[in-house]
Structure 1
Amino acid sequence: MLTLHQISKSFRDRAVLQDVSFNVARGRLTGFVGGNGAGKTTAMRIILGVLQPNSGSVTLDGHPITGADLRSFGYMPEERGLYPKMEIVDQLAYLARLHGIDKQSAINRADNLLERFGLGERRRDKLESLSLGNQQRVQVAAALVHEPDVLVMDEPFSGLDPLAVDEVVAVISEHAARGIPVLFSSHQLDVVERLCDDLVIISGGQIRAADSRDGLRARFSGSQYSMRTGTDTGWVRDIPGVVVDELAGDSIVFSGTPEVAQQVLASAVTRGVVHSFTPAQRSLGEIFRNVVVDVSPSETEAA
């Protein structure tokens, strides 16, 4: 498990991270979301040892992260840092060899990843000749080519079309299935919602929520219910204790105590067919808007 414990970081007199604590469990995909300047990139750079915190610690399975540990990490920064005039297969193989992988195995790994990302026929192309989306695929492959023991990715889906997102999601999920911690940030909340097992929400340099995806949904959905019947549902407004959130003919979303919800359901049954009656789960976007407070960025950063 990768653990951040009470991490604080300031640049001059600006507090960027304040007592940031969360876990990235092995074998699970942890989404890290927040607005621009929230502190995501700073936290990731501290994990990688690029920045040092003013206080707090980062540990892996309970021990401080060493240089040897970091050599087994895979990191994808938001800023593209590959060589634009180098052939992509040679570039990936070179990066693999920097991690101690022999030449032929490095080439094989590079070729396998390029095939997975639909770039096998372009293996000898220079990076600068690729579209921005394909460059992003290569950037993801660069973080994976040495089969890392920890994976940290900053906006891996940026600039990718839906098909490419699915390709990247599939490969990242396979790495998580090996039992490694995977932390990724993204502004694409629909992708995060579909992909992540756990979610960390940061705003203004502070963790606002951290839980499993289902745990957050249950926590922030509260006492909201969705019902669809065979008749008009406007009568629900007349039941004491009901707050109507959405109403559209035979469908309604309302809030109330469990007792009130049971009263609504019982009344609906006496009026005709009830097609569905379920607790309403908020989307990640709704939870994010509910959790994140409006704060001024304390640092200008890419994510």
Structure 2
Amino acid sequence: MSEIILSLDGVSKTFSGKPAVRDLSFTVRRGEITGFLGPNGAGKSTSLRMALGILTPDAGEVSLFGGRPRANALERVGFLPEERGIYRKMKVIDVIIFFARLKGVTPVDARRRGLAMLEEFGLADVADSKVKTLSKGMAQKIQIISTLIHDPEFIILDEPFSGLDPVNQKALEQIVRARAEAGATILFSTHVMEHAERLCDQIVLVAKGRKVFDGNVEAALAMIPRRVILETVSEQDLAQTFAPLGEVVQEAGAADGARRWLIDLGPGIDAQDVLKACVDGNIRLLRFEPARAHLHDAFVHLVETSGQFSNETLAGEAV
């Protein structure tokens, strides 16, 4: 087993009588990319602040690099908070050097690294510009550089993709992968499941401050029913034909009088069993599509079954 970098054990936090985090436990192991996922307001930011010692839990224990979060441990961490904040009147390169110096980097190395990272991020031409002249997306990339400038071994990113356009989101994903391949351990929170599905070795799903899943993406996807989508020429009701294969739903009729069916496959049933039933029943098919599950679907399923949210809330949040 690899070394545990961060551990939360039974951690809870309440603000003004309202629980924000409830009996939360999970671990982050060296070399892994862990996604900390949930809707807005699920308690992610509060949990990350407790992980760093910024907030003290009301109950439970936090361990960072094998001990309580202390200054010497935090020097090994790069943290991007959800609330962005860099000094608007300073020059870009001076901001980066400032944050590097806070983490013990020498002035010469801070400038050298800062200029190199600005080049990497496509921002070399703004090194001497003041932060207040930058766009929101550019300013966010400066804060990401400031988070990574001291080459931390543990990187914590709170909603890092928020505010970035799709091109820069892809660029940030590449940076996360590159840091992981170089040996860094990464924990990032998000409510956008697509990023986690592409990046993560492990995921922790939370809703209303409670953990609803802890494992890898494949295990999360395995918890939702496998689905087959069919369109048939026959106008007859085929629900009884498909019933032994799983839960059958007929959606609105397709074009030219065809019917569209969704079948959530039962245990031990796969898509080939559905196709065989169609052949045996002489059912003419216009469409046969085994549907690939996504982490979004798994999250909605897991939170619904946990009873933490209504369907209406999930429809608006878990995207």
Q: How does 1:201-212 map to 2 (within 5 A)?
A: 201-212=205-216
2:69 matched residue in structure 1: 65
1:291 matched residue in structure 2: 302
Q: Does 2:39 match 1:35? A: yes
1:267 matched residue in structure 2: 277
Counterparts in 2 of 1:259 and 1:188: CA distance versus 1, 3 Å:
closer
Q: Which moved more, 1:18-27 or 1:69-78?
A: 18-27
1:254 matched residue in structure 2: 263
1:226 matched residue in structure 2: 228
Q: Secondary structure at the match of 1:254?
A: strand
Q: Which moved more, 1:174-183 or 1:91-100?
A: 174-183
- What are the Cα deviations for residues 128-168 of structure 1, in whole angstroms up to 9, with x where unaligned? 11011111111111111111121111111111111111111
1:301 matched residue in structure 2: none
Does the aligned pair in 2 maintain the 1:26–1:176 contact within 8 Å?
no
Q: What are structure 2's unaligned runs of at least 5 residues?
A: 314-319
Q: Secondary structure at the match of 1:32?
A: strand
Using the aligned pairs only, state the percent identity: 33
1:171 matched residue in structure 2: 175
Counterparts in 2 of 1:121 and 1:246: CA distance versus 1, 3 Å:
farther
2:97 matched residue in structure 1: 93
Paired with 1:285 and 1:246, the residues of 2 have a C-alpha distance of 22
Q: Secondary structure at the match of 2:63?
A: strand
Q: Does 2:122 match 1:118? A: yes
Paired with 1:17 and 1:143, the residues of 2 have a C-alpha distance of 26
Counterparts in 2 of 1:267 and 1:13: CA distance versus 1, 3 Å:
closer
Give the TM-score, by structure 1 length: 0.85
Q: What are structure 1's unaligned runs of at least 5 residues?
A: 298-303
Counterparts in 2 of 1:275 and 1:11: CA distance versus 1, 3 Å:
closer
Counterparts in 2 of 1:276 and 1:29: CA distance versus 1, 3 Å:
farther
Q: How does 1:171-210 map to 2 (within 5 A)?
A: 171-210=175-214
Does the aligned pair in 2 maintain the 1:217–1:281 contact within 8 Å?
no
Which amino acid letter does the alignment assign opposite residue 95 of structure 1?
F
How far 1:14 moved relative to its partner?
2.3
Q: Which has the higher contact order (CA 8 A, sep 6+)?
A: 1
Does the aligned pair in 1 maintain the 2:80–2:157 contact within 8 Å?
yes
How far 1:274 moved relative to its partner?
11
Does the aligned pair in 2 maintain the 1:268–1:274 contact within 8 Å?
no
Q: Secondary structure at the match of 1:107?
A: helix
Paired with 1:182 and 1:284, the residues of 2 have a C-alpha distance of 19
1:151 aligns with one of 150, 155, 173: 155
Paired with 1:245 and 1:31, the residues of 2 have a C-alpha distance of 33
How far 1:118 moved relative to its partner?
1.4
